[in-house]
Amino acid sequence: MKEMDAGQSAGDLWVFGYGSLMWNPGFPFDQRANAWLRGRHRRLCVVSRHHRGNAERPGLVMGLDRGGSCRGIAYRVPAGAVQSTLAYLDEREIAHYPVYRRAFLPITLTGPTPVRRVTAVTYVVDRTDPDYAGHLSVAQQAAIVAVAQGLSGGNQDYVASTVRHLHGLGLRNRQLEAVLHALGEPA
């Protein structure tokens, strides 16, 4: 059972997005805020054979890996939509990517709401899973991303969109920018 935080209504849920959830949440929410998670960082480290790759040419998608911090977007889901949202997120994340583990972690909402800490659901990577790919160099990542295509589109488009949305928040991710640069795309 998660503990309720100040500024959180009974029964509602915060969801922390750090990859495609930043621009394509796919669930109802009644508030959106910039957010910061400590102890995990965004990394292109999850093998994708569904959304951004396939069995013949797997792609790479974002995961929350150990260490550092991550800025992203938090969404507050009203109580009446919590169960359907969790079911949707588990289907989107865990059903196709067993490397992810659902976690309830403390985040800091940084704007436009008043700065405060809440607990949010998010999905972190399990480094022991065979689909964890955090050991790849920038050149290896770029080679995979360049050719991968999945049900949700091209892997290169996914990386570029993530970087664009980060820049829209005034943020940088030098690792992702290096992958785009290796692909000949401006970061």
DSSP 75-105: EEEPGGGHHHHHHHHHHHHTTT-TTEEEEEE
Measured from the Cβ of residue 39, the count of other Cβ atoms closer than 10 Å reads 13
Q: What is the pLDDT of residues 91-127, one digit of tens each?
A: 999 988 899 999 999 999 997 778 899 999 999 999 9
Considering the entire predicted model, what is its pTM? 0.90
Helix axes 155-168, 138-147, angle to 10 degrees: 120
Q: What is the pLDDT of residue 111?
A: 76
Q: What is the pLDDT of residues 9-66, one digit of tens each?
A: 568 999 999 999 999 999 999 999 999 999 999 999 999 999 999 999 999 999 999 9
Q: What is the pLDDT of residues 152-162, one digit of tens each?
A: 999 999 999 99
Joined tokens for residue 30:
């009644």
pLDDT at residue 1 is higher than 60: no
> What letters, b where the CB count within 10 A reaches 16 and e where it falls short, cover 82-97?
beebbeebeebbeebb
Q: What is the pLDDT of residue 64?
A: 97
Query: Rounded to whole angstroms, how far apart are CA atoms 18 and 111?
Result: 16
Query: Rounded to whole angstroms, how far apart are CA atoms 54 and 86?
Result: 25
Query: Alpha helices, DSSP H only, in the chain?
Result: 82-93, 138-147, 155-168, 174-182
pLDDT at residue 5 is higher than 80: no
122 contacts 89 by C-beta, under 8 angstroms: no
Q: How confident is the model over 72-95, as a mean pLDDT?
A: 95
Q: Is position 93 annotated as part of the catalytic site?
A: yes
pLDDT at residue 2 is higher than 60: no
Domain extents for the chain?
13-182
Kind and range of the H or E run holding 20: none
Q: How confident is the model over 138-146, as a mean pLDDT?
A: 98
Joined tokens for residue 146:
């360049």
Q: What is the pLDDT of residue 156?
A: 97
Instruction: Identify the active-site residue in 3, 56, 93, 177.
Output: 93
**According to the CATH classification, is domain 13-182 in 3.10.490.10?**
yes
Rg, Å, the chain Cα set? 16
Q: How confident is the model over 140-165, as a mean pLDDT?
A: 96
Closest CA to 73 of 38, 28, 25, 7: 25
Measured from the Cβ of residue 111, the count of other Cβ atoms closer than 10 Å reads 10
More confident residue, 187 or 145: 145
Q: What is the pLDDT of residue 187?
A: 74
Beta bridge partners of 72: 35
How many separate helices (H) and strands (E) can be counted in the chain? 4, 7
Q: What is the pLDDT of residue 4?
A: 40
Tell the residue number behind the tokens 């949440």, with chain if given.
Answer: 25
More confident residue, 187 or 102: 102
